[in-house]
Amino acid sequence: MAGFNSTLKIFSHPVPVWVVLLVCTELALGAFSLYVGVYIRFGGDQALIAESIPGPLYPRALIFGVMIVIGMLAMGLYQVRQEPRLSSNLGRIVVGVALGALASTIIYYLLPFTFTGRGAFALSLLSALLLVCICRYIYFAFADSSLFKSRVLVIGAGKQASTIARLVTNDDRQGFTIVGYIHTGREEISAECAGKIISPDRLVDYVVSETVNEIVVAMDNRRDCFPSRELLDCRLTGFEITNVTSFVEREAGKVSLEVISDGWIIFSDGFRRGPIHIVLERIFDIFASLLLLVVISPIMVVSAIILWLESFGREPIFYRQERVGYKGGCFDLLKFRSMRVNAEADGTARWAASDDPRVTPIGGIIRRFRIDELPQIINILRGDMSFVGPRPERPQFVEMLCEQIPYYNERHSVKPGLAGWAQLAYSYGASIDDARHKLQYDLYYIKNHSVILDLFILLQTLDVVVWGRGSRMETHASQPPSQHESQQA
C-alpha cells in the first residue's frame, strides 16, 4: 500500500500538498471573480457582454487568476510560516490582490484585446478580494487539521531523531505527525523523543494497524541493531522509507548540520552547477541589473539627496566594506551609509543588533525597507554578486565561523546574493548559533539551486521590502547576522 505524502515534487522541488490545493483554489477563485465582475457590470445581459467584450472571457479570466496568485505568492501567503488567522494576514492579502491587479493592468496595456473595461475590472478586483478572504478564513479554520498530514514513524530515539522532534515542537505548522519513536541499539534516548517511545512486536503489522504513511530512519549508529529485515518487509509492502537527512530537507527546507556527513554531500543528488547554467545566470544578472538600475534610479537619487541633507554633506553618502565572495575571494560591497561615520572606530567588528545605536535616523528608515542595499546592484553588474545567493559576510567573521561551524566555507561555492533562501526562512539573528542555523538554509539553496528556486526567492523578497520584514531594526527579521558598517567611502 502506498502511503499518503504530504509533499509533491514540482520542478524537482518539494511543495506541501496544502500549498498546491490553496494555489489551485485561489487561481480558480481569481478567474471566477472576473466572470462575476463582468456579470455585475453588464447586468447579466449576454448580448451586451458579447458586444462590449469581443471574444471568449476565459483567457482573460485565466490571466487575472494567475496574476492574483503571483501577487499572493509575492506577499509570502503560501509559506508555512504565517499566522493561521485571517486578521493577521489581511494586510498582506489586500496588497497581494492589489499586486495581482497591477500585474493584470500591465498585461492589459501590453495586450489590449485582453481588457474587459475599467468598470468590470474594478468589480472583478473587489470580488477577488472577497472570495480570497473567504477562502483564507476557511483554510485557517482547518490549518492544523490532520487531513493532509502524513503519519510518520521514526526508527531511532537519539540525537538524530530529536532533529525531527524539534520540527514538530516549534511554532510552524508541519505536514506530518509523529506516531512514535522506536529505540534501537545503544543510543541514548533524547528528551524530545522520550514521551513517544514505542516497542512494536512486528514492525510491518504495526505500521499497517496504525496507518503509518512513512518510516524515517534516524538511528545514531546503524551498525548496531539495524532492522534491515523489518524495513525490507515494510518497503516491499509499499511503505515509503526515508533517511533523516532527506526527510528534514524536504519538510524544513534546510540541510541539517546534525545529520549530514562528507559522504552524504559527495553522493547526494544536487550541488550541481554546470557551465551553461553559470553563463545563463550571468547573462540574466547583467540584463536584470541594468534594467533595475533604470527603474530604481529615482529612488536612489532621492535617497542620496536625503542622506546628504541629513549630515549637510559632512558625511559620505555611500560606503564600501570588504566581504567574502565566490570561492573565498574578497570584494568591496556597496551600500548607502546608514550608520554614523567611524561606527567601529576601535577597529573591532561587531554583530549588528536590533535598535543598534550606531544607526542614524534616516539610516533606520532605509534599512527597514532595504533601500540601503540598492547600490549592491552595481556589485551584481560587476560580477561580484548575483541576485540570489547566500549573503556575503565580513572576512573577520568568516574566519571565525569557519573554525566553529562545519561546512561553513561551502557557502562560498556560489556567488553571494542580494536576496537568499536563508533570509526568507530564518528570523533575525546576531550570533554564532544564528549563523549555524542560516548555514543550513544556505546549504539547501546550494544543493537545490535552480532557476525556479531563484525566481521564487526573488518574488517573495518583495514581501520583505513592502513590510520591512528582515531589516536589522526588527527582531523577527530574516537578515544575516553580520550586516555591519565600518569602512566609510
pLDDT computed for residue 471 by the predictor: 43
pLDDT computed for residue 23 by the predictor: 96
Asked if residue 93 lies in contact with residue 137, where contact means CB atoms within 8 angstroms, the answer is no
Query: Residue 388 — very low, low, confident or very high, per pLDDT cuts 50/70/90?
Result: very high
Beta bridge partners of 409: none
Does residue 144 carry a pLDDT above 90? no
Place of cell 487575472: 64
Q: How do 13-16 and 7-10 pair as beta strands?
A: antiparallel
**Averaged pLDDT for residues 235-247:** 94
pLDDT computed for residue 72 by the predictor: 96
Non-local (6+) Cβ contacts of 479 within 8 A are: 391, 423, 428, 470, 471, 472
Residue 31 to residue 18: CA distance in whole angstroms: 20
Number of Cα atoms under 13 Å in the Cβ half of residue 243: 12
**Pick the residue with more confidence: 225 or 34?**
34
Does residue 484 carry a pLDDT above 70? no
Question: What is the C-alpha R_g of the chain?
Answer: 25
Residue 127 to residue 29: CA distance in whole angstroms: 9
pLDDT computed for residue 485 by the predictor: 39
Of 458, 302, 294, give the one whose Cα is nearest residue 371: 302
pLDDT tens for 324-362 read 999 999 999 999 998 887 666 556 666 666 667 788 889
Percent of residues, the chain, with pLDDT higher than 70: 90
Q: How many CB atoms lie within 10 A of CB 296?
A: 14
What is each CA distance from 185 to 97, 221, 349, in whole angstroms?
A: 54, 7, 47
pLDDT computed for residue 353 by the predictor: 61
Query: Residue 480 — very low, low, confident or very high, per pLDDT cuts 50/70/90?
Result: very low
Does residue 4 carry a pLDDT above 70? no
Asked if residue 14 lies in contact with residue 8, where contact means CB atoms within 8 angstroms, the answer is yes
Residue 378 to residue 291: CA distance in whole angstroms: 12
Average predicted confidence (pLDDT) for the chain: 87
Asked if residue 185 lies in contact with residue 224, where contact means CB atoms within 8 angstroms, the answer is yes
pLDDT computed for residue 5 by the predictor: 61
What is each CA distance from 12 to 9, 21, 451, 452, in whole angstroms?
A: 5, 18, 11, 9
**Averaged pLDDT for residues 362-370:** 88
**Pick the residue with more confidence: 477 or 277?**
277
Structural domains of the chain, with CATH: 7-141 (no CATH), 149-252 (3.40.50.720), 275-467 (no CATH)
Of 412, 350, 425, give the one whose Cα is nearest residue 385: 412
Of 316, 344, 304, give the one whose Cα is nearest residue 482: 344
Instruction: List the grid coordinates of 320.
Output: 564600501
Of 172, 168, 260, 216, give the one whose Cα is nearest residue 444: 260
**Averaged pLDDT for residues 433-446:** 95
Print the SS3 string covering the chain: CCCCCCEEEECCEEEEHHHHHHHHHHHHHHHHHHHHHHHHHCCCCHHHHHHHCCCCCHHHHHHHHHHHHHHHHHCCCCCCCCCCCHHHHHHHHHHHHHHHHHHHHHHHHHCHHHCCCHHHHHHHHHHHHHHHHHHHHHHHHCCCCHHHCEEEEEECCCHHHHHHHHHHHCCCCCCEEEEEEECCCCCCCCCCCHHHEECCCCHHHHHHHCCCCEEEECCCCCCCCCCHHHHHHHHHHCCEEEEHHHHHHHHHCCCCCCCCCHHHHHHCCCCCCCHHHHHHHHHHHHHHHHHHHHHHHHHHHHHHHHHHHHHCCCCCCEEEEEEECHHHCEEEEEEECCECCCCCCCCCCCCCCCCCCCECHHHHHHHHCCHHHCCHHHHHHHCCCEEECCCCECHHHHHHHHHHCCCHHHHHHCCCEEECHHHHHCCCCCCHHHHHHHHHHHHHHHHCCCHHHHHHHHHHHHHHHHHCCCCCCCCCCCCCCCCCCCCEC
